[in-house]
Structure 1
Amino acid sequence: MKKTLVSALATALVVGAASTTFAAANPFSDVPRDHWAYDAVTQLAADGVVEGYGDGTYRGDRNITRYEMAQMVAKAMAKDNMSASDRALVDRLAAEFADELNNLGVRVTKLERNADMVKWNGKLEYTYTSERRDVPFTRDGVTKKKHNADEVLFRLEPSAEVNNHWHVNARLDAGYNMDKDDSSSVVLKRAWAQGDYGDFSVKLGKMEFVTAEGQYQAPGSIVADGEFSGAEASFGKDLRVKLQAGRYSHGGDFADTANYQGAELQYENGSLQAGAGYYRFGSADLNGAYSLKPSKDKMNVWALNGGYHFDKNIALTGAYAQNADAKIYKKSGQVSLEYKGADAADKGSWGAYVSYRHLGNASVEGTYDGALRYTKGVELGTNYTIWNNVVLSAKYFKGKDFTRTTDDKVSKLFGRVEFLF
């Protein structure tokens, strides 16, 4: 393709070039200021229609391919504020290079699709907690009978499509304590690749670790509610099997990292839900030195869960777990009566539950929004969608710390507002 068409395109794009003074520096070393096409080429470069070459040259006397010309026509077609005559010339060029533009359009469509393949979800949440005991206890280095906390969390959860079967996902958290007005840094909480093939799914990386009962019971999990690094495979439909293996890092008072293997069998059909789980942690310090039998360097936790939905609104659920290697407080369990549940997309929807919870050494790191580890008692919870994607939730627990001979009374108030996007 000779440069005559390039000249025509340049003429069409430079609107009012004769009356325009270009203050920009010369963009191309081989287009001098006294060249007849200097103003046109400079305007094209400023508009992003032409880019030249990596060595800073334009090479305007070189024959170009039809595809290169079509690329410039495509950029010209996107230019605004063109006169009718200039637009007509660009339209004639577009007709001349229709086939090449169609091919270019396919490429552009793919680029736009790739951009849409990365989706972002997230939330901003504020959480207030107030924990009280009869006997002074320590939180963050401070010992007293009552501890309050005001926390803000900002979370981003990107998900990128790799192909028809695989996605890459992540969770980024940044939080701070309002009462201390402390600084916050962004923490990568999760990052995993997920492949879905019909009823079979596999995950690789650092991912969610919420034991089976925590997936559908309103109070949450009695065994674990956090993350682990490794691999997970699940398969099945009504009867689903999940296998996990990797490393688990406990973030509590007895911080430790353990080898972890787990297996779950979960059945759900109509009104009935039931399941069983086995979780093995290869660490003696995960639950604190006093919680395991002498000479034990591992934990083996067995768990059962079940639920029955009387109708679409009301369900009775329960879970039980036992740490086979604990020397004391081996058991954890809960039973709950649940009503509906808030839907973030449905303004005015709400839910509530009442639960009896007992969290012993089978609770490696359960859901402690209400009941705490080594406590037993009654937990009440409710949530409400005040506006679309704005959800309020509250929990109240009242019970006892069963590790104390005096049956130390414990209560906790939990409140949260979430802005989801």
Structure 2
Amino acid sequence: MKKTLVSALTTALVVGAASTTFAAANPFSDVPADHWAYDAVSQLAADGVIEGYGDTTFRGNQNITRYEMAQMIAKAMAKSDVSAADKALIDKLAAEFSDELGNLGVRVSNLERNADKVKWTGEARYTYTSTRDEQNDGSQVKDNADKLQLRLFPTAEINQNWHVKARLTAKTDISSDKGDDGNVKLTYVYADGQYKNFDVKLGKMPLYSVADDGLVLDDFFSGAQVTFGKDLKTTLEAGRWNLEDANNHINGYNDATETYDNLQKDSAANYQGIELNYAPSKLRLGAAYRHFNSDAFTKVANYSNDTNGSDDANIWSVGAGYKFDHNWDLFGAFAKNEEADNNNTSHNIQLSYKGTDIANKGTWGAYAAYRYLGQNVSLMPTYDTAHIAHLNEKGWEVGAAYVPFTNVYTAVEYFDGKNFAGNDAKTLFGRVSFFF
């Protein structure tokens, strides 16, 4: 593991710098006063944590080894006048670099080695969705939704390779002040084993169609997932996908009564999938095949006019993207359900500019996209403007995101198009998230 010296010091080892009003004098000739890391570098030099080189240079863009990082951690461990927060950070770093510190003769206690076994992060999210759908008689149906959501993400370390990850979710509808059954729900929990070029997950975990960038799915499933490879990554998945979240659009266009009965009989589909993703540099390519089996598909995702329709959904998708530079990115995808005889294709093309980083105030991004979404192939797409009850639509979408403060994310998106019957369909979506 190598990182640049500036990145290592200012993002992980800012001992003393955060609490100092005026930074110490800078001893390095290659760190000007207007450099973004000036204060942290100067303070760390004054504290004796860093020394630089004999020619008065700092060489902040030069890679460092783990042993060099361990030497700086050892010097920080020797400091006594540090805050509780800085002490916790030092303990965390000491645990991560314990082997290197041991080789340097620095003792790390069992308590330090086991520091931060369980970590908690979270998000408080507000979303606003406003839809305007034209009916066959020319009238409009308007629907507005204000939602609050709290997400908590615990991560527990089992050993160097294995972690348990989970998400707890609570929801509230602001318009009615009604919570989600008054309960905090366990959205997912899974064990994640990470090895060199190999990753295995077991439990209930995110189900995201990486190859097409969420054109087909962005949900969760219970089972197993294995990913291996370096530039060319292969992902194998198998398990069960709960159809209850997809119930709204499953019932939306065909025989609702019979569909609902089938859904109650077989609410979770058997699922198997394979993905290939190749991303060596600026170019990225993806291909995927997914198979679902459930009685609920008999009258929905398949032959709607055939009472003996298949209970399978066989969906393949491809995607391709190119990152021109640090700012511009173009991506396109296509997907088809071979078992369905209608609304069975989806495609999307999106041009993105820049992007947000919640750790950096003032960062922003924008995009423009054209989307064509058939409900029998885009089962649970990732797009905020195309929620599960708002598919079988095509049109243009634009969006922008901005980080006004550190760990605060804002976004607005607008879709202007038509449904497959030719009626106007418009969606406005807004989001504000606070991360902690």
CA–CA distance in structure 1, aligned partners of residues 324 and 411 of structure 2: 24
1:398-413 mapped onto 2 (5 Å cutoff): 398-402=416-420, 404=421, 407-413=422-428
Moved over 2 A (4+): 106-115
CA–CA distance in structure 2, aligned partners of residues 317 and 274 of structure 1: 10
Q: Which amino acid aligns with 1:164?
A: Q
| Shift of residue 257, structure 1, vs aligned partner | 1.2
Q: Which amino acid aligns with 1:175?
A: K
CA–CA distance in structure 2, aligned partners of residues 113 and 125 of structure 1: 34
Bigger drift between 175-184 and 227-236 goes to 175-184
8 Å Cα contact 1:268/1:274 also seen in 2: yes
Give the greater-gyration-radius structure (CA): 1
2:183 paired residue among 182, 185, 188: 185
Which residue pairs with 2:206 in the alignment?
A: 208
Q: Which amino acid aligns with 2:280?
A: N
| Shift of residue 114, structure 1, vs aligned partner | 3.4
- SS state of the match for residue 169, structure 1? strand
Q: Are 2:150 and 1:163 aligned?
A: no
Which residue pairs with 2:405 in the alignment?
A: 387
CA–CA distance in structure 1, aligned partners of residues 194 and 215 of structure 2: 28
Superposed CA deviations along residues 97-131 of structure 1, whole A, max 9, x for unmatched, are: xxxxxxxxx99943454351111111001000001
- SS state of the match for residue 269, structure 1? coil
CA–CA distance in structure 2, aligned partners of residues 226 and 195 of structure 1: 21
Q: Which amino acid aligns with 1:200?
A: F
Which residue pairs with 1:222 in the alignment?
A: 215
8 Å Cα contact 1:136/1:144 also seen in 2: no
Q: Are 2:127 and 1:127 aligned?
A: yes
2:301 paired residue among 264, 285, 291: 291
Structure 1 unaligned residues grouped into runs of 5+? 1-105, 138-142, 216-220
TM-score by length of 2: 0.66
| Shift of residue 291, structure 1, vs aligned partner | 3.4
- SS state of the match for residue 116, structure 1? coil
8 Å Cα contact 1:134/1:410 also seen in 2: yes
Bigger drift between 345-354 and 109-118 goes to 109-118
Which residue pairs with 1:320 in the alignment?
A: 334
Aligned residues: 302
Superposed CA deviations along residues 15-49 of structure 1, whole A, max 9, x for unmatched, are: xxxxxxxxxxxxxxxxxxxxxxxxxxxxxxxxxxx
CA–CA distance in structure 1, aligned partners of residues 286 and 241 of structure 2: 22
CA–CA distance in structure 2, aligned partners of residues 151 and 136 of structure 1: 30
CA–CA distance in structure 2, aligned partners of residues 178 and 238 of structure 1: 45
1:244-283 mapped onto 2 (5 Å cutoff): 244-250=237-243, 251-252=245-246, 253=248, 254=250, 256-283=267-294
Q: Which amino acid aligns with 1:334?
A: N
Superposed CA deviations along residues 163-206 of structure 1, whole A, max 9, x for unmatched, are: 11100010000011011011331000010000011110000000
CA–CA distance in structure 2, aligned partners of residues 185 and 274 of structure 1: 41
1:73-92 mapped onto 2 (5 Å cutoff): none
- SS state of the match for residue 291, structure 1? coil
2:369 paired residue among 355, 359, 364: 355
CA–CA distance in structure 2, aligned partners of residues 263 and 236 of structure 1: 14
Which residue pairs with 2:396 in the alignment?
A: 378
Superposed CA deviations along residues 124-171 of structure 1, whole A, max 9, x for unmatched, are: 01000001111299xxxxx97001011000000010100111000100
Superposed CA deviations along residues 218-237 of structure 1, whole A, max 9, x for unmatched, are: xxx11001100000000011
Q: Say what the alpha-carbon RMSD is for the aligned residues.
A: 2.2
- SS state of the match for residue 110, structure 2? helix
8 Å Cα contact 1:304/1:320 also seen in 2: yes
